[in-house]
Amino acid sequence: MSEVLEICKRAREASIELARVSTEIKNKALLAMSDALIAESEAIIEANREDLEEGRRRKISAALMDRLMLNPSRIEEMARDLRNVALLRDPVGEVVKGWRTSNGLLITQVRVPLGVVGMIYEARPNVTVDAAGLCIKTGNAVVLRGSSVALNSNLALTKVISGGVVRVGLPQHSIQSIPDPSRKAANELMRMHEYVDVLIPRGGASLIQTVIQNSTVPVIETGVGNCHVYVDAAADLAMAEKIIENAKCQRPGVCNAAETLLIHRDVVRDFLPRAVHVLTEKGVTIYGCPTTKSLCPEIEEATEEDWHTEYLDLKLAVKVVNSLEEAIAHIQKYGTKHSEAIVTEDYSAAGRFTGEVDAAAVYVNASTRFTDGGQFGLGAEIGISTQKLHARGPMALESLTSTKYVVYGSGQVRE
Strands (E), 266-360: 285-288, 300-301, 315-321, 339-343
Q: How many Cβ atoms are within 10 Å of 1's Cβ, its own excluded?
A: 7
CA 25 to chain centre: 27
Pick from 34, 153, 177, 371 the residue near a second copy by CB under 8 A.
371
Regarding 336 and contact with a second copy (CB under 8 A), the answer is no
Nearest to 14 by CA among 222, 197, 191, 160: 197
- Comparing CB distances to a second copy, the nearer of 49 and 390 is 390
Give me the least distance between CB of 269 and a second copy, in Å please: 22
Distance, in Å, from the CA atom of 74 to the CA atom of 77, rounded to the nearest integer, reads: 5
Give me the least distance between CB of 389 and a second copy, in Å please: 4
Q: Write phi, then psi, for 259 (nearest 5 degrees).
A: -120, -25
Distance, in Å, from the CA atom of 290 to the CA atom of 293, rounded to the nearest integer, reads: 5
For residue 124, give the 3-state DSSP assignment.
coil
Piece of 119-127, 276-284, 306-314, 357-365 that binds a second copy (CB under 8 A): 357-365
- Comparing CB distances to a second copy, the nearer of 45 and 337 is 337
Give me the least distance between CB of 51 and a second copy, in Å please: 31
Give me the least distance between CB of 243 and a second copy, in Å please: 6
Give me the least distance between CB of 407 and a second copy, in Å please: 5
Would you state the torsion angle of the CA atoms of residues 38, 40, 41, 42, taken in this order, to the nearest 10 degrees? 150
Distance, in Å, from the CA atom of 60 to the CA atom of 285, rounded to the nearest integer, reads: 25
Give me the least distance between CB of 95 and a second copy, in Å please: 12
Pick from 239, 295, 312, 314 the residue near a second copy by CB under 8 A.
239
Regarding 19 and contact with a second copy (CB under 8 A), the answer is yes
Pick from 98, 218, 253, 283 the residue near a second copy by CB under 8 A.
218
- Residues 212-241 as b/e (b if ≥16 CB within 10 A, e otherwise) read eeebebebbbbbbbbbbbbbbbbbeeeebb
For residue 100, give the 3-state DSSP assignment.
strand
Distance, in Å, from the CA atom of 58 to the CA atom of 38, rounded to the nearest integer, reads: 30
Pick from 250, 280, 285, 291 the residue near a second copy by CB under 8 A.
250
Regarding 369 and contact with a second copy (CB under 8 A), the answer is yes
Regarding 198 and contact with a second copy (CB under 8 A), the answer is yes
Region 48-107 residues binding a second copy, contact defined as CB under 8 A: 99, 101-102, 105, 107
- Comparing CB distances to a second copy, the nearer of 303 and 412 is 412
Nearest to 382 by CA among 190, 118, 194: 118
What string marks each residue from 304 to 333 as x (binds a second copy by CB under 8 A) or -? Answer: ----------------------------x-
- Comparing CB distances to a second copy, the nearer of 39 and 407 is 407
Piece of 63-71, 169-177, 181-189, 383-391 that binds a second copy (CB under 8 A): 383-391
Regarding 148 and contact with a second copy (CB under 8 A), the answer is no
Residues 6+ positions from 16 with CB-CB distance below 8 Å? none
Q: 300: which strand partners?
A: 287
The set of long-range contacts for 207-214, using a CB threshold of 8 Å and a minimum separation of 24, is 207/120, 207/122, 211/120, 214/187, 214/190
- Comparing CB distances to a second copy, the nearer of 294 and 375 is 375
Give me the least distance between CB of 375 and a second copy, in Å please: 7
Strands (E), 220-312: 227-231, 258-264, 285-288, 300-301
Regarding 23 and contact with a second copy (CB under 8 A), the answer is no
Distance, in Å, from the CA atom of 294 to the CA atom of 281, rounded to the nearest integer, reads: 20
Give me the least distance between CB of 316 and a second copy, in Å please: 16
- Comparing CB distances to a second copy, the nearer of 74 and 370 is 370
Binding footprint of a second copy on the chain (CB under 8 A): 16, 19-20, 99, 101-102, 105, 107, 109, 112, 114-115, 193, 197-198, 212-213, 216, 218-220, 236, 239, 242-243, 245-247, 250, 332, 350, 354-356, 358-367, 369-371, 375-377, 387-390, 392-393, 402-414
